[in-house]
Amino acid sequence: MQQIKRIAIMTSGGDAPGMNAFIRGSVRYGLEKGIEVYGIEEGYKGLINNDIYPMEFDSVCDIIHKGGTMLKTARSKEFMTLEGREKAARNLEALEIDALICCGGNGSYAGLYSFANPEDGVWKGQVIGVPGTIDNDIRGTDFTIGFDTAVNTAVEAIDRLRDTGDAHGRHFIVEVMGRHCGDIALAVGIASGATYVAIPETKTDIDAIVATIKKTGHDIIIIAEGDEVGGANQLAEILKPHLEAITTEENNPEFRVCILGHIQRGGRPSARDRVLAHEMATTAVDAILTGKSLKAVSIKSGQISLDSDLVEKTKQVKIPA
């Protein structure tokens, strides 16, 4: 096992609240362990462009409460090419960096694996993944950094919508993020008391939605952006003729669409996400120091672990039989 002298950290893919807490934990803990810590700006794009610089104790002051990521993030088509990965490897080798920790989602994990796997990887250093995405769609971990904050942000918005829905007797279809995984929609639906939740893992039941509308005066319907009917606007169009069919003088259901979009990614991270990010960061550093590589940090049944493979398929909501 080689002695680790320098590590580099980066955030990649979509930003998630808590990434700054990951950066802070990685830098402070790494320095405490006697390691030099380097930051990479804009993820894999910065790795190719050599936007890499040393970080000190003061580099991460006053960031733990901020959303986004101080290291920035970007997507890189160039890194998907062999030439791009070879350029990135040369940059790390020139700085004599021994290991790389990346906080991101499934695409970021795939990038790490293609970069350093023993079969056809171009870099010989150690790599560890830390799950950072609001979608909570990484298999092998119960929660990802940013998920808790995103759910709380969406619930707060829906609480406000419920007030105006009650005042006017209106129904709302609220679209939340989740292209392949319905975790955000399901959690938000339960926490906000929604009457129906449409997610990619199940077929949307239009008849069931119409039945609930007949019973209540102001429904909240949650739909994940990746649902098979499309998003909120598409669902509203599908429901339109059904609403016309049940319209009476006493009951005139009217829908409004609200797409929360990237609002869910921003804002101050919750205490839960800050603690999770810090614990995952220190676990990742410890993994490097003990010679681990091509692994991902995870939390299972409340315990932080390092038993997940770096490349995992997208997680989906488990639907009871």
Q: In whole angstroms, what is the distance from residue 229 CA to residue 202 CA?
A: 11
Q: How confident is the model at residue 308 (pLDDT cuts 50, 70, 90)?
A: confident
- Convert the pLDDT of each residue in 90-141 to its tens digit: 999 999 999 999 999 999 999 999 999 999 999 999 999 999 999 999 999 9
Q: In whole angstroms, what is the distance from residue 297 CA to residue 37 CA?
A: 19
- Convert the pLDDT of each residue in 269-300 to its tens digit: 999 999 999 999 999 999 999 999 999 999 99
Q: According to the model, what pLDDT value does residue 171 have?
A: 85
**% of the chain beyond a pLDDT of 70:** 94
Matching residue, tokens 């909240």: 220
Higher pLDDT, 112 or 320: 112
Q: According to the model, what pLDDT value does residue 321 have?
A: 47
Q: How confident is the model at residue 247 (pLDDT cuts 50, 70, 90)?
A: low
Active site residue 135: yes
For the segment 297-307, the average pLDDT, to the nearest whole number, is 93
For the segment 75-83, the average pLDDT, to the nearest whole number, is 95
> Class assignment of domain 6-146+269-309?
alpha beta
Does CATH place domain 148-265 in 3.40.50.920? no
Q: According to the model, what pLDDT value does residue 240 have?
A: 86
β-pairing verdict for 36-40 and 52-55: antiparallel
Q: In whole angstroms, what is the distance from residue 295 CA to residue 131 CA?
A: 11
- State the Cα angle at 264 between 261 and 266, rounded to 5°: 115
- Find the Cα–Cα–Cα–Cα dihedral 212, 218, 222, 223, rounded to 10°: 80
Whole-model pTM: value is 0.94
By residue count, the chain amounts to 321
Q: Where are the domains of the chain?
A: 6-146+269-309, 148-265
Q: According to the model, what pLDDT value does residue 249 have?
A: 59
> Mean pLDDT, the chain, as a whole number?
93
> Do the domains 6-146+269-309 and 148-265 sit in the same CATH topology, yes or no?
yes
- Write down the catalytic residue from 15, 98, 135, 273: 135
Helix (H, G, I), strand (E, B) or coil at 72: coil
| Least trusted range by pLDDT, from 22-36, 91-105, 169-183, 261-275 | 169-183
